[in-house]
Amino acid sequence: MLLLLSLGVLALFFIAGGVNHFVNPKFYLSMMPDYLPAHLLLVNASGVFEVLGGVGILVPFTRYYAGLGLIALLVAVFPANLNMALHPERFPSVPLWGLYLRLPLQLVLIAWVWWTTRRLG
């Protein structure tokens, strides 16, 4: 029961987060490190992959690969979270502790995806 609840919450988290990339793209664009090209394309792609991963972990046949994809996505977006912590002046509405909390939170999310998608197969 706990695993199914975890799976549902995790799926909603990623689906809602992915949709938010299209509802509030300015926030995600502001997170992008300057050295990365095609910011809007990357924001849109990460939103699509979050939605696909969130839906994919709900389907038993695709759960394993969707989980791997979400883990890869979490690793790929880490530079944006690091960029936020390195440039807190760009995010005055986010408390400094929140910017730094995002960094280890990526590891928690990776562990959560791994645990949930592996336990349910």
Q: Binning pLDDT at 50, 70 and 90, where does residue 26 land?
A: very high
Mean pLDDT of 38-45: 98
Q: Binning pLDDT at 50, 70 and 90, where does residue 121 land?
A: low
User: For 105-114, which contacts have Cβ atoms below 8 Å and span 24 or more sequence positions?
Assistant: 106/74, 106/75, 106/77, 106/78, 106/81, 109/74, 110/71, 110/74, 110/75, 112/6, 112/10, 113/10, 113/57, 113/67, 113/70, 113/71, 113/74, 114/67, 114/71
Q: Return the pLDDT at 119.
A: 82
How many structural domains compose the chain?
1
pLDDT digits (tens, 9 = 90+) for 75-97: 999 999 999 999 999 999 999 99
Tell me how far apart the 2 most distant CA atoms of the chain are, in Å. Answer: 44
Please give the residue range of the domain that contains residue 56: 2-119
Q: Return the pLDDT at 51.
A: 98
